Amino acid sequence: ASIEPNFHDLYLKFLDKVNSKSLNKEIVKATYENCK
C-alpha cells in the first residue's frame, strides 16, 4: 500500500467543492465501517 498514490487531499478538495452534507455523511459512515 505504501507505493500506491495517495489522493486524500484531492478527495477532500472535491468534497469541499461539492458541499453536500448527505454525501459527506455517507462517506464518514463508510469510512468508520471500513475501519472496524
3-state DSSP call for residue 28? Answer: helix
Residue at 7: amino acid letter: F
Provide the pLDDT confidence category of residue 6 given band limits of 50, 70 and 90.
Answer: confident
Query: Among 4-8, 14-18, 24-28, which is the least confidently predicted range?
Result: 4-8
d(CA 16, CA 28): 14
Mean of pLDDT values over 7-36:
92
List helix spans (H) across the chain.
8-18, 21-35
Q: Does 1 have pLDDT greater than 60?
A: no
Mean of pLDDT values over 1-24:
88
Mean of pLDDT values over 16-26:
95
d(CA 11, CA 16): 9
Residue 22 · residue 29 · CB < 8 Å:
no
